[in-house]
Each structure stands twice: as C-alpha cells, then as structure tokens.
Structure 1
C-alpha cells in the first residue's frame, strides 16, 4: 500500500464520459464531471484503515476502508453501492463496487513509471486516468 500513499493530481484521461454513461449518469452531470481535473490523496490512518479523497471544484468524495472488508459507499454520481478494496496478485489496488448484488464498476489502481494509473470499467466501457505525484 505504501506506493499508493500521497497526493496525486490528474494528468490525462480517456473514456471518462463513456464510463459515466455506462453507469447511467445523466448527460448534464457527465458534462460537468468530464470538465473536472481531480486530485486524489490516499492516507494510512493506522490499524489497517486507509482513506481515499478525490477532490474537484465540483465535489469531494471520501471513502475509508480496510483491505478485504465490505463497506457501504455513496459514489460521487449518487449510487449507493457495496464496496471492497483488495490488493490483487500483481499488487494493484482494486476497488469493486456492487449494486444490487452485481458488480457495477471496478477500479484498478497501479503505479507505472512513478505515476498513478486508474483503470475503471463499467460493463464494456473502460476509463483510464493518469495522475502525477504532487
């Protein structure tokens, strides 16, 4: 988890609006969200508890988690989901969001060449955003 800790600012993004559309986000909110350049911070709060904060000029979203433990999350787009974070076999920090018992989206975080890359999927839509450390 150590490699993910810190503050990150958005550098580039592709496929975000299609990803939001696949999640059922309304057009006006998709347009507003697509214009944002988020900053993400991940902190270790001790005792296995972590916090991810995603902040834009439009909205700030905070989620606290322990690896492998399911939690209730209200996503920035208004979905109430069950979420689980875990480290996969490749060391990616994977966040799985389930709606009504089915996976609605999955976000995989990894560090490549010192940058944080998040690959999110919803159905067949894929969204990739790259961040640089602040």
Structure 2
C-alpha cells in the first residue's frame, strides 16, 4: 500500500465536532481538536510494520502496528490503553477496536486522487477529514 506512504497535511473537516460529541469527547478537548490542523506521516517498514505519526502543535502521537495483528494503543487524551486491529479492505486502511468494534471509533483511510480521506465513524455518526500530500 505504498500510495499511503508520505506526509499529509490536513485541509478541512466535515462533521468532525459531531462525531467527537457522539464519542463523548469533553467540550474543551473537542474545541482543541477542532482547531488543530494536523500533519499525518505514514510509513511502512520492510517487515510490514506501519507507523502513523500524528503531529499537532502541542503533541506528536506515534502508533506502530502490523496489518491483521492486534496491538495496543492509547485512546484520546485520557491515555486509556485499548486493543486495536488494522486491516486492509478494498485498498482502504481500517483501524478499530479488536474487541467490540461497535463500541469505539472506526477510522478508515483511503486515497482518492491526490487526497487522503479519513472517515471517522462512531456508531451512526460519521465525519471526514481531508489531507493533501506534501512530501
């Protein structure tokens, strides 16, 4: 999935705050997240390990995983550790809770033209974030 590899700059979001509300994100955290314009770096190592780096002004979050293998990562600003699984489905990168995926955010990334589109779904609420490749 080499088309995912690179640095992606956030351009715009649709329904982002609504999905954060549905997921129970506190008001102050929502306001901070809504005003950020993150950069996402995606790399895939020779051994198949993916690295997603989310860079915002105050924090950088790095997540490393392999496709179809359960891994641990933190959720939100609370730092709660959960088990996740990443899958490739129809050319899309899908990340969700490994157990009871319907209870958490499902994140789907796909490349459409020169954009990375990230779909965030929490139950029936859906948001999209659009990124443009910068490197």
Q: Same fold (TM over 0.5)?
A: yes
| Structure 1 gaps, min length 5 | none
Q: Which residue is equivalent to 1:48?
A: 48
1:10 CA displacement? 0.4
- Identify which range, 21-30 or 72-81, moves more after superposition: 72-81
> CA 1:77 to 1:122, structure 2 compared with 1: closer, same or farther past 3 Å?
farther
Q: Is residue 82 of structure 2 the alignment partner of residue 97 of structure 1?
A: no
- The alignment partner of 2:36 has SS state of coil
Q: Secondary structure at the match of 1:46?
A: coil
Task: Give the gaps of 5 or more residues in structure 2.
Answer: none
Q: How does 1:72-87 map to 2 (within 5 A)?
A: 72-78=72-78, 79-87=80-88
Q: Using the alignment, how far apart are the partners of 2:61 and 2:52 within structure 1?
A: 8
Which structure carries more helix by proportion?
A: 2
Number of residue pairs matched by the alignment: 131
1:25 aligned counterpart, secondary structure? coil
Q: Deviations over 1:1-54 (max 9, x none)?
A: 101000000011011111111221110111111100010000122211110001
What is the root-mean-square deviation in Å for CA atoms of aligned residues?
Answer: 1.3
Match of 1:65 in 2: 65
Give the C-alpha shift of residue 58 in structure 1.
2.9
The match for 1:114 is: 114
Q: Report the CA distance between 1:109 and its aligned residue.
A: 0.6
Structure 2 residue matching 1:77: 3-state secondary structure: helix
The superposition leaves residues 71-117 of structure 1 with CA deviations (integer Å, 9 ceiling, x where unpaired) of 111023334221111111x211111135xx32211111111111100
Between the aligned partners of 1:9 and 1:76, the Cα distance in structure 2 is 20
Distance 1:49 1:37 in 2: 26
